[in-house]
Amino acid sequence: METSANKPNADLSNWRQSPQNHFAFHRLPSEIATARIPAGTTSATFPRSSKTIDAFSLRLPNGSAIDIERFLAATSTDAMIVLSDGQLVYETYRNGMEPTSRHIAMSASKAIVGLLTEILAAEGAIKLDVPVTKYVPEVANSPYAEVTARDLLDMRVAIVLDEAQEKSYAQSVGWEPPSDRKAGFQSFVSRLRGPAWQRGGAFLYHSANTDLLGWVLERATSCKVQDLLSEKLWMPIAGDDAALTLDWDGFPRSAGGICATVRDLARLGQAVSLDGTFESRQVFSSQIAPSLASDGDRQAWSSGQWGESFAPISRNMSYRSGWYTVDAHPQILFAMGVHGQNLFVDRKNKIVMAKFSSWPQPVDGRIMWLTHAAYDEIRKML
């Protein structure tokens, strides 16, 4: 039970550290402003499946095995849901979370904003293959001058920031204590100078790409990112309002700031598993999910930043619009954020697993492997 006595004292200086993150990921520090993402009238609950994962047993490389409780503890789970054909197989909440608790999705937000961008492109609201300066002329003299929205979506920009610029970027998005003045992301990226970065090459991950994409979306549509998310995804799919963190100037953190219930994250995965259909309605184009799974550049991934580090999971992968694809049998789509935020989608078998966590470290290869292995075991059981 969570009481005032055992709530860690979280603020901007420590909210992403353990043990503060066990609480702060679903109760953000007061210094972080948020914007509401209104939901529609979708039922907050799921129909119950007759299937179970009660017999879950994951064999580890050392020959031992763990049950579901040990897996949840080992991966610092805050909330997890498993769906099969849109029906609830498993649901759990920990560390003070409840079904209506919003948890920060970290970089799994990139997949949601990527999906939003694909929806807008399919509707003709934005062109993905023109320079972003068409929409944001403020970066015309920056290294982003020749980059397209497609490059930003697929992390194919050879972005290089020095130590001082990295610190300024981290402070600009409002997640760290500011320096002498509170300058937001738009100010930061507009002040970047230097030759154009190479575009369209190997995968190279940087959150600034998706934050800039958010600015492009707002200029292309004359709407705020949070309003676009509400209109295109939360109103037709979600059961509870979500939120989006804001920087010092009120600009949204598209790269990692979406805060949602685990149920709504699972609903989004369900819509992807059904190629854009939700409760018998076509919410977005049926061509988007197949494109996410098939149109990522396999060579860009294998020769890119994480090709080797993801090898224990798979060497056959790609990245498209914030979504990772594992080319296995069946093919798996997943969204991922630091400290263990995950959404797994098996489109062939209509199996979804949404999981929020508060890992002690932002990245942990052992726990990441364990999470993927557990999903694979759950998928086989269903």
Instruction: Measure the CA–CA gap between 377 and 382, rounded to whole angstroms.
Output: 9
Instruction: Measure the CA–CA gap between 72 and 66, rounded to whole angstroms.
Output: 10
Determine what percent of the chain is predicted with pLDDT higher than 70. Answer: 98
Residues 231-270 as b or e (16 or more Cβ within 10 Å = b) = bbbbbbbbbbbbbbbbbbeebbbbbbbbbbbbbbbbbbbb
Residue 3 above 70 pLDDT? no
pLDDT for position 304 = 97
Give residue for tokens 């179970």: 52
Q: What is the mean pLDDT of residues 113-120?
A: 98
Residue 95 above 50 pLDDT? yes
Q: Is residue 239, in this structure, part of any structural domain at all?
A: yes
Q: Is residue 66, in this structure, part of any structural domain at all?
A: yes
Instruction: Measure the CA–CA gap between 270 and 158, rounded to whole angstroms.
Output: 33
Contact between 257 and 338 under an 8 Å Cβ cutoff? The reply is no
User: Mean pLDDT in the chain?
Assistant: 95
- Provide the pLDDT confidence category of residue 1 given band limits of 50, 70 and 90: very low
pTM of the entire predicted model: 0.96
Residue 6 above 70 pLDDT? no
Q: CB burial class (10 A; 0-12, 13-18, 19+) of residue 366?
A: exposed
Contact between 107 and 100 under an 8 Å Cβ cutoff? The reply is no
Q: Is residue 287, in this structure, part of any structural domain at all?
A: yes
> Which range marks the domain in which residue 257 is found?
32-108+225-381
Q: Is residue 5, in this structure, part of any structural domain at all?
A: no
pLDDT for position 182 = 85
Contact between 212 and 48 under an 8 Å Cβ cutoff? The reply is no
pLDDT for position 43 = 82
Q: 249-292: per-residue pLDDT in tens?
A: 999 999 999 999 999 999 999 999 999 999 999 999 999 999 99
Q: Is residue 60, in this structure, part of any structural domain at all?
A: yes
Partners of 337 in the β-ladder: 341
pLDDT for position 41 = 87
Instruction: Please report, for the domain that includes residue 64, its CATH number.
Output: 3.40.710.10
Q: Is residue 333, in this structure, part of any structural domain at all?
A: yes
Contact between 214 and 257 under an 8 Å Cβ cutoff? The reply is no
The catalytic site residues sit at 107
Q: 145-177: per-residue pLDDT in tens?
A: 999 999 999 999 999 999 999 999 999 999 999
Q: Is residue 18, in this structure, part of any structural domain at all?
A: no
Q: Is residue 135, in this structure, part of any structural domain at all?
A: no
Please name the amino acid found at residue 345. V
pLDDT for position 4 = 40
Q: 354-369: per-residue pLDDT in tens?
A: 999 999 999 999 999 9
- Provide the pLDDT confidence category of residue 179 given band limits of 50, 70 and 90: confident
Give residue for tokens 């409840």: 98
pLDDT for position 5 = 41
The number of distinct structural domains making up the chain is 1
- Provide the pLDDT confidence category of residue 7 given band limits of 50, 70 and 90: low
- Provide the pLDDT confidence category of residue 334 given band limits of 50, 70 and 90: very high
What is the 3 state secondary structure string of the chain? CCCCCCCCCCCCCCCCCCCCHHHHCCCCCCCCCEEEECCCCCCCCCCECCCCCCCCCEECCCCCEECHHHHHHHCCEEEEEEEECCEEEEEEECCCCCCCCCEECCCHHHHHHHHHHHHHHHCCCCCCCCEHHHCCHHHCCCCCCCCEHHHHHCCEECCCCCHHHHHHHHHHCCCCCCCCCCCCHHHHHHCCCCCCCCECCCCECCHHHHHHHHHHHHHHHCCCHHHHHHHHHHHHHCCCCEEEEECCCCCECCCCCEEECHHHHHHHHHHHHCCCEECCEECCCCCHHHHHHHCCCHHHHHCCCCCCCCCCCCCCEEEECCEEEECCCCCEEEEEECCCEEEEEECCCCEEEEEEECCCCCCCHHHHHHHHHHHHHHHHHC
